[in-house]
Structure formats: C-alpha cells, structure tokens
A and B are shown apart, each in its own frame.
Chain A
Amino acid sequence: MADERVEVVLRVNGRDHRLEVSPRWTLSDVLRHQVGLTGTHVGCEQGVCGACTVLLDGEPVRSCLIFGVQAEGHNVTTVEGITPESGLSPLQEAFRKHHALQCGYCTPGMLLTAQALLDREPNPSEETIREALTGNLCRCTGYQFIVDAVMAARGQGRGA
C-alpha cells in the first residue's frame, strides 16, 4: 500500500506544529524525526519499557503505541516541555542531586511519569512512587536513587 501523507497540526509543549505525516508513523517517530524533539527515546516499540513515555493531555502514555495522527487535538508534553527555559525543574534537580540517572536513556520517560504522578498527587508514599514507576524500566540504577529523587521533589511543583 502506498505510504500516503496527511496533514496534521500537533500541539507539542504548547506550540503548534503543522506536519505532513504518514498515518503509520508512531507518535514517538513523529516527535523525534518530524518535530525534532529527540528527548523522547524509543526502547521497545511494544509499550513495555516506558522510555518513550510522553504526556497526552497531562496523562502518561506510550508514544510508541499511538500514531502521530491520533495526537491531533491533544496536548503533547515531552521532556523538553517540562524543562524550564534556563536550568532544571525541581524534579530534574532532584534527579541530579540524588544521582537518579546513569546512561540517561530511560530518564525522559521516567521524569514524565514521575511528574504526572506529582501533578496529581503532591505527596505520594514510596510505595505509590514505586508502583507508578513500574512501567518505566531502568537498567542502570536499580531504581533506588530514582525513588529517592521523586520523594525529594514532593511538594515542590513544576517550577518555572
């Protein structure tokens, strides 16, 4: 079948992008290769690893399991969108302070899941945090410092 293109307008991190996409391009590929936001990482294309997690209208979703065309009419937030213009957000700062990342590949997805958790529940317990993060795999850290960072960022909001 021919790989036809359709025009969509995607709202990503508060900006509208007019794009020509093939319907079969996953949102992760569209974000990375059409919008140029390479902070969203692809780890399994099966919805298991969580590396590609973005927020769709504020809720964490797998961008490898949504087609780019489907995101039209929704607000997409990527790691670039939770990063202040200068410096880092309180959650990002906590990640740095607590050494919550090593290779950094899972980190954007981890941050978005954690941020969404803190947005809906400002003071989650360690158990709640661990439960929320089960869908984000990390091969480097053993999770402990990630959990510590999220705990430390409780009650600090999103920052700038």
Chain B
Amino acid sequence: MAEVLRPQMMGARVSRVEDPRLLSGQARFLDDIQVPGMLEVAFVRSPHAAAKIVAIDADAARRLPGVYAVITHQECPIVLWNQESYKVGQPALADGDVAYVGQPVVAVIAENRYIAEDAAELVRVEYQTLTPVWDMRDAIHEKPRRVHEQAENVFFQKSRQTPGFDEAFAAAPHHLKASFRTNRQTAVTMEPRGTAAMLDAASGRLTVYASTQSPHRMREDICTLLDIPEHLVRVIVPEVGGGFGMKATCYPEDVVVAHAAVKYRKPVKWISDRLESLESDVHARDDIHDVEVAFDDDGKIIAIKDHLMADGGAYPAYPWSGAEGETGLAARVLTGPYDIPYLATEIDCTYSNKTPLGAYRGVWGPIASFIQEGLVDRVARHLKLDPADVRRRNMIRKEQFPYRNAARMIYDEGSYLESMEEALKLIGYEDFRHRQAQLRQQGRYVGVGISVFVEPTAMASSEAGEVGYESCTIRIEPSGRVTAALGLGPSGQGHETTMAQILSDQLGVPLEDIVVLHGDTDSAPYGGGTGGSRSGPIGGGAALVAGRQMREKLIKYAAHLLEASEDDIELGDGKAWVTGVPDRSLTIRTIAQTAYLDVSKIPEGMPIGLEVTGRYLPKRPVTFSNGTHIAEVEVDVHTGVVKVTRYAVANDCGRVINPTIVEGQIHGGVAQGIGAAVLEALRYDEDGQLVTTSLLDYLLPESTDVPRIQVQHIETPSDGEGGIKGMAEGSLIAAPAAVACAISDALAPFGGMVDTLPVTPEMVLKMVQNS
C-alpha cells in the first residue's frame, strides 16, 4: 500500500471552501438569525465601578409599549461561579452590588433593540457608590479595601523556584532590575458577541445560538448554570466573526438570554454593541512584572527572578480567570527559547473594580515574550554586545531536545537558532546596521527588534477547557460524497478547508466531495472546541485518525469487491484500484452504494453503512511551535509616533496543512501585535471609569499601520499525529516584543528602553527628552 497519496492535499495552497458564502454576503452570523416573534434584549449596565444597589425601579420601563419583560437578579437568580476554584462568582444580573463599569444589572426584553434601549433608559437604579479598587499594587495589599467582603483580593498565588536558584543568582557577576507593565487590551472581534435562544416547540429542547469558540463547552456551561440536562440543549454556533480567545468564555449575557427563552417560551436575542464590547468582553494583559536578571560577562543569562502580578478584574471570568492563565503559564515559559538554568517566580493575581480578565490570543505569551526579549536586550546593551549575538549565546541547541526548562516544561524539538538566522537574513540584518548608522547621522531613528518565541500548543487544557482530545465523525454518503463533523469552533481559521484537506488525502476523494460540519452539538461529536492553538494539531489529528479508520474500511471493501489483497489496494481521485493495474478499479461511490444499498455484497464482518468516529488525544501534554519575528521601525523623535516599516517572520509549526492559511494567521497576529505594541489600551480613570469606550479611543491598526510581512516556513514535525503543531497564537506572542525591542533599539542613542506596552507617542517623547 502506498503511504503517500497523489495529489497531496496536506501542505497545498488550497483556496478556502468557506469563502464564496462570506464573499457574497450569504454567510449567516449571529445577528442574521431571525425567527418570527423574536425578542431583543438591552442591558442596563452599571455606570459605577463599585456601588451598593439601593433600589431598582423598572415600572416605567415595563409600561413602555413594545416591552415584553424587564428582569433583575430576582427573576434570574443565576451566578456564574466555578466554586471549585474561586470564592466568588459573578451574578448574571447584579445581586445587591456592582463591581465594575458595564456589569449587567437589568435586562430589558422588547420587540426590537430600539425599544429595548428606550426602556433601558427608563429603568431607575439607585446606587450608593464605594471607593473603587483600581490600582493593582494597592489591591494586592487589600487597599483601599476588599473588592468582595468575603474574599481576599489576591485570589491566586503561586511561587516556584529552581533548586539552587539563590546561590546561582548571587554568584552571577552581573545583575539588572526592570519592571515591565502591560496595559489592558481586548480582542475586539469585528463581530461583537451575541446569543439567541429559543425552545423547539416539537421536542421542548432549548436551542442556543452562540457566537463562541467551543460549542460543547458552551452547552456544558448553559446546562450547569440553568440546570438542564445536556440532551435537552442544542448549541449551534453560526459563522463567528472573530474569536481570539475572547469568545471562549461563557458570559452573563449568554445565561440571561437562555434563561429568558426558557422562562418566557419566546425566541430571545442579544447582540452586543461596540460600547458593550469594550466594557464587557473579557479584558486581557493587565500585568506587572518586577524582574531581576543575573548573567555573566559573555551575556549568558544564568537566572531570572520575577514577581508576576495581574489584575483579574471584578470577578473570575467563567469558568476561569484570565489573570491566572496569563501569569500561570508566563511563569512556566518565561525563559522562552533560551537555555536559562535558574528561574524563581512568584505570582499574585488580584481582584479590582474593572472588567473581568479572560483570554485574548496568546494569553500569557505576549507578556512573557515582552519580558524575555526585553531582558535579553538589556543584557546586550549593558555589556555592549550585539543583541543577535546574545541570543545566539543563550539559545537552546538542537542537541538539547527534548529540553526541560527551568520551570520543568518539556519542549519537543524545534528550530530556534535556525529560525533566528533565517529571519535575520530576511530582514538583512548586517545591511540594516549600516543603514541605521547612516540615518542617525541625518537625525532619523530606525531600529530592529528580534523576538524569538516558543509557543506551547495543543495543550491538554486551554481556554477551550479541560478536554484534551478532539473527535471526528466521518460519514460517506451513498453517493460517495463525504460528510465529516468535528467539535471545533472556528472563527475564521478555515477549518472546513484544512480538515477537508486532511480527509481528502486519507480517503482519496477530491476536496469538493467533502463537507466539514462543526459548531452544532447535535451533529458534532463531543470535543473541546477552538482555543489554545489546538484545532490544527488535535482537531487535525482526530481527522487523521478517523480518516485512517475510514480508509481501512474502504480498502477492505475494495479488496473484497475487486478480489484482490488489501495490501494491493490504492485510493485516489475518488477511486480504488489494484496497484499496478489501474483498470481493475471501482469508484468510492460504488463502494458506498454497496455499503448502503447492495448490502448482500458487504464483506463479511463489516457493518452496514460507512460511518466512523475517531478520537485523538495527543501523548504529549503540549507541543511547542517556534519561530522568530524581526520588526523594523522608524521613530519620529519629534512627535513620538512609531511606524513599523518592515517585518520578517521565520515560522515553524511542524507540518503545515495549508501554507496560505498559516501565513494569514501570522499576518493577522502581527497586526494585532503592532496594535498591542503601539496603539491599543483600555484606560481607567481614578474613579474606575473606563474612558476608552469607542473605537476612536481604543485604536486598532489600520491598513497603513501594518507593513508587508515576509514569511518563511521551517518544518520541524511534532511526534504527534501528522507532525502538526498549533500556530495561531505565536504571531501575537512574538510581535509586541519585536516592535518594543525595535523601538528600544531605535532610541538607543537616547539611552532608554521600553518597559510599558503600548508605547504611546508621549512615552517616546519622554524617553527622548530624558536622555
């Protein structure tokens, strides 16, 4: 049997099967779900960061024509609370107090959104305001007060130290200290969140349309919180207009909508507007790291000590807090691609009167890379060494794999040094240094930043949940066409295409004969969904496993019907044939018809029909992708405005399923990384008011803010199914650090180094003026 099939779809630049419907305006996103009698929800949200609710008067709202119901915690007494992990949970609608601006307090359900908003304005809520807790360092010390009376502010604490750390740290000849700050950011999917729910009149089951990354996870959460058994709930995920981790969480609004649909037996829908999105989608990256690094005369880093702090906001997002995710993993991968033997970390995550922290693409990574690369550059500058050389001296070498880092994470094989050398070539590093010197003579300040990243992917647990495996059901229809279903929750990654590519190779049928279903708990086998860069390696692995099982069936059929040995059967082009005798062949369609319609000819011992479900649980708890990003920037030292002018990436995510899709993921992550580095910040004032409440205040990169990005692929296969590694987060893990380091490099003549993200024009100007 030939192992490799022709044509190989795996690795091919295939155009996406998703595109025609999206390009013609036919795709169905959440707000496109419309059924007769559907009601719409508007939320009355807290205008205060912290307050007691004295009274709620909704009479006027209830009386407004077109209003169906107005509900408070009293009518919807549900709390999103993971009691195993946290001492507090968020009530779906505020229960007696509010703890952040934008917290849902009252839900108004009306004929349409216009009337719902009219009524929401008529709801009178009387508050007694409290002193807001908004400074992270204060909050950790319970100042000015506890956010929740019944719980300490610090809700997650963890210390870890490599044995022998203190001695090694003390013995090092050089030490540097730095404090790094990342400011709050959020995903800002172009499609805001949304939920619609309705009872199925025939079966009495609840259908929830959810804009989420994880259909089964959402079903679990709805079932747990509403106390309905799973078989009576169907979650359907329509087209999702971007997720980026932000849509991996179950939100209060999801629960209120589902509750209302059940309570009133009416179809109910809520669509977030952009104001709601900025104040109620989970935030991310609100972290401070107080760091010390110890190194020798050659720039070899010996030890890193880090106090990691994160502001988790008012409540843990359900079912877990992003603060824990950001710090917990940052503490374990802080040494990145470098062979740094000693690490000591201490974590404090605190509550505050801000929006809950959740996942945003890369979670821990953009923060840890910013610190790791910032430290390397500080060491280089301190010793007057070339930053690329210092990286070379510290990089984990090929022969060290599998490598156990100072926090005991095991890295499988990657191409760390190779990726950096490739990226340096792409950007033309040597030439750049000449150009940089010449431009400085003319008063122009350009810089490059090198960011070598590792990306833990396909982890046993991630923001998609604790489900470490994925499942794939394949059904070959009597026509020979293929229907496959997975529990993934794509939001633009093109899974319908990439999974079909994998299946096409396994089943020997053309791509256009395969349809991949996802996002419906009624059709998809149980799975973890999309998040933590798991869909390619684990979802793809499941497709491979199931595909192989189906392939074996097809071969058995073909061998039987062609009267040949199974070893001699080949599959391809929708046909099966005997090796070397292409005339002795039959079509997959003939096999399928036999399996369903001509069952007397089914080989002995084979069941009727062609259907399999394969599951894949990777042996490793994690597989590491890697790569290097290099950004070139020009800084206008008179205005402080930074322009990213060139960008190069060498990326290694193991076996690539579709290089074009991988490149698209990289480009998008780099754009988000540029935003993270110089544009995007959610700002609170001292009253705990979010002041960045529109896209004129929260700045996303535009088409002229992102340069052309050169991408080169390197393939170091994993030892898992297909050799696939995940890759969706690496670009956003690496890019902010690359840009930050480039700004530091550009401003080297002025002496300062970037320690805060995003870098604002004002900060740049200060760095220039302080020199």
Q: A-side interface residues toward B, CB under 8 Å?
A: 3, 22, 24-25, 32-33, 37-46, 48-49, 51, 78-80, 83, 88, 92, 95-97, 99, 101-108, 111, 129-131, 133-147
With A44-B274, A96-B16, A105-B241: A139-B189 Cβ-Cβ less than 8 Å? yes
User: Within the assembled complex, what's the spacing in Å between the Cα atoms of A141 and B709?
Assistant: 11
- What 7 A-B pairs have minimum CB-CB distances, sorted nearest first? A39-B25, A105-B241, A103-B492, A104-B22, A142-B667, A102-B492, A142-B671
Q: Considering only CB atoms, which chain A residue lies closest to B670 in the complex?
A: A142
- List, in ascending order, chain A residues with CB within 8 A of B27's CB: 104
- List, in ascending order, chain B residues with CB within 8 A of A78's CB: 25
Q: Considering only CB atoms, which chain B residue lies closest to A108 in the complex?
A: B25
B22 & A40 in contact (Cβ 8 Å cutoff): no
Q: How many A-B residue pairs have CB under 8 A?
A: 172
Which of B188, B190, B240, B702 is the one whose CB lies under 8 Å from A134? B702
A contact patch SS: loop
Query: Is B443 close to A, CB under 8 A?
Result: no
Given A101-B492, A103-B240, list of 10 further CB < 8 A pairs?
A39-B26, A46-B274, A96-B15, A97-B15, A103-B241, A104-B19, A130-B704, A138-B671, A139-B188, A142-B668
A92 & B24 in contact (Cβ 8 Å cutoff): yes
- List, in ascending order, chain B residues with CB within 8 A of A95's CB: 19, 23
User: Within the assembled complex, what's the spacing in Å between the Cα atoms of A77 and B464?
Assistant: 40
A102 & B664 in contact (Cβ 8 Å cutoff): yes
B190 & A139 in contact (Cβ 8 Å cutoff): yes
Question: Which size class do B's interface residues fall under?
Answer: 35 or more
- List, in ascending order, chain A residues with CB within 8 A of B669's CB: 142
Query: Is B135 close to A, CB under 8 A?
Result: no
Query: Is B239 close to A, CB under 8 A?
Result: yes
B29 & A105 in contact (Cβ 8 Å cutoff): yes
B492 & A140 in contact (Cβ 8 Å cutoff): yes
Q: What distance in Å separates the Cβ of B526 from its nearest Cβ neighbour in chain A?
A: 25
Query: Is B672 close to A, CB under 8 A?
Result: yes
- List, in ascending order, chain B residues with CB within 8 A of A130's CB: 703-704
Query: Is B20 close to A, CB under 8 A?
Result: yes
With A105-B242, A144-B709: A46-B694 Cβ-Cβ less than 8 Å? yes
User: Within the assembled complex, what's the spacing in Å between the Cα atoms of A74 and B23?
Assistant: 24
21 contacts between A and B (CB under 8 A): A3-B115, A38-B29, A43-B190, A96-B20, A101-B22, A101-B23, A104-B27, A105-B29, A131-B704, A134-B703, A137-B190, A137-B700, A140-B190, A140-B664, A141-B664, A141-B671, A142-B664, A142-B666, A142-B669, A143-B702, A143-B706
A96 & B19 in contact (Cβ 8 Å cutoff): yes
- List, in ascending order, chain B residues with CB within 8 A of A45's CB: 273-274
Q: What distance in Å separates the Cβ of A22 from its nearest Cβ neighbour in chain B?
A: 7
Q: B-side interface residues toward A, CB under 8 Å?
A: 15-16, 18-20, 22-29, 31-32, 34, 66, 114-115, 187-192, 239-242, 244, 273-274, 491-494, 660-661, 663-672, 694-696, 700, 702-704, 706, 708-709
Which of B32, B114, B708 is the one whose CB lies under 8 Å from A144? B708
B664 & A46 in contact (Cβ 8 Å cutoff): no
Q: What distance in Å separates the Cβ of B629 from its nearest Cβ neighbour in chain A?
A: 12
- List, in ascending order, chain B residues with CB within 8 A of A136's CB: 703
Which of B22, B273, B663 is the one whose CB lies under 8 Å from A107? B22
B696 & A39 in contact (Cβ 8 Å cutoff): no
With A105-B190, A142-B706: A41-B700 Cβ-Cβ less than 8 Å? no
Q: What distance in Å separates the Cβ of A91 from its nearest Cβ neighbour in chain B?
A: 9
Q: What distance in Å separates the Cβ of B146 from its nearest Cβ neighbour in chain A?
A: 36
Q: Considering only CB atoms, which chain B residue lies closest to A2 in the complex?
A: B65
Q: What distance in Å separates the Cβ of B553 from its nearest Cβ neighbour in chain A?
A: 34
Q: Considering only CB atoms, which chain B residue lies closest to A33 in the complex?
A: B34
User: Within the assembled complex, what's the spacing in Å between the Cα atoms of A39 and B23?
Assistant: 9
Q: Considering only CB atoms, which chain A residue lies closest to B15 in the complex?
A: A96
User: Within the assembled complex, what's the spacing in Å between the Cα atoms of A130 and B701?
Assistant: 12
Interface centre among A43, A103, A111, A137 (most CB of B within 10 A): A103
User: Within the assembled complex, what's the spacing in Å between the Cα atoms of A24 and B113?
Assistant: 12
B189 & A48 in contact (Cβ 8 Å cutoff): no
- List, in ascending order, chain B residues with CB within 8 A of A37's CB: 25
User: Within the assembled complex, what's the spacing in Å between the Cα atoms of A118 and B717?
Assistant: 43
User: Within the assembled complex, what's the spacing in Å between the Cα atoms of A134 and B701?
Assistant: 9
Which of B23, B31, B694, B706 is the one whose CB lies under 8 Å from A96? B23
User: Within the assembled complex, what's the spacing in Å between the Cα atoms of A139 and B23?
Assistant: 17
Which of B32, B115, B702 is the one whose CB lies under 8 Å from A137? B702
- List, in ascending order, chain A residues with CB within 8 A of B704's CB: 130-131, 134
- List, in ascending order, chain A residues with CB within 8 A of B24's CB: 39, 79-80, 83, 88, 92
- List, in ascending order, chain A residues with CB within 8 A of B25's CB: 37-40, 78-80, 83, 108
A141 & B23 in contact (Cβ 8 Å cutoff): no
User: Within the assembled complex, what's the spacing in Å between the Cα atoms of A106 and B190?
Assistant: 7
A145 & B667 in contact (Cβ 8 Å cutoff): yes
User: Within the assembled complex, what's the spacing in Å between the Cα atoms of A137 and B20?
Assistant: 21
- List, in ascending order, chain B residues with CB within 8 A of A3's CB: 66, 114-115
A43 & B32 in contact (Cβ 8 Å cutoff): no
A102 & B493 in contact (Cβ 8 Å cutoff): yes
User: Within the assembled complex, what's the spacing in Å between the Cα atoms of A105 and B271?
Assistant: 15
B29 & A41 in contact (Cβ 8 Å cutoff): yes
Interface centre among A32, A48, A88, A143 (most CB of B within 10 A): A143
With A103-B491, A137-B190, A139-B189: A88-B23 Cβ-Cβ less than 8 Å? yes
Interface centre among A33, A83, A139, A146 (most CB of B within 10 A): A139
B31 & A42 in contact (Cβ 8 Å cutoff): yes
Q: Considering only CB atoms, which chain B residue lies closest to A39 in the complex?
A: B25
Q: What distance in Å separates the Cβ of A42 from its nearest Cβ neighbour in chain B?
A: 7
- List, in ascending order, chain A residues with CB within 8 A of B29's CB: 38, 41, 105
- List, in ascending order, chain A residues with CB within 8 A of B700's CB: 137, 139
A143 & B274 in contact (Cβ 8 Å cutoff): no
- List, in ascending order, chain B residues with CB within 8 A of A42's CB: 31
User: Within the assembled complex, what's the spacing in Å between the Cα atoms of A100 and B332?
Assistant: 36
B16 & A44 in contact (Cβ 8 Å cutoff): no
Q: Considering only CB atoms, which chain A residue lies closest to B673 in the complex?
A: A142
B16 & A51 in contact (Cβ 8 Å cutoff): no
A141 & B667 in contact (Cβ 8 Å cutoff): yes
B702 & A43 in contact (Cβ 8 Å cutoff): no
Q: What distance in Å separates the Cβ of A44 from its nearest Cβ neighbour in chain B?
A: 4
- List, in ascending order, chain B residues with CB within 8 A of A129's CB: 703
Q: What distance in Å separates the Cβ of A74 from its nearest Cβ neighbour in chain B?
A: 20
With A3-B114, A80-B24: A138-B660 Cβ-Cβ less than 8 Å? no
Which of A22, A33, A44, A104 is the one whose CB lies under 8 Å from B492? A104
- List, in ascending order, chain A residues with CB within 8 A of B114's CB: 3, 22, 24-25
Interface centre among A41, A96, A105, A141 (most CB of B within 10 A): A105
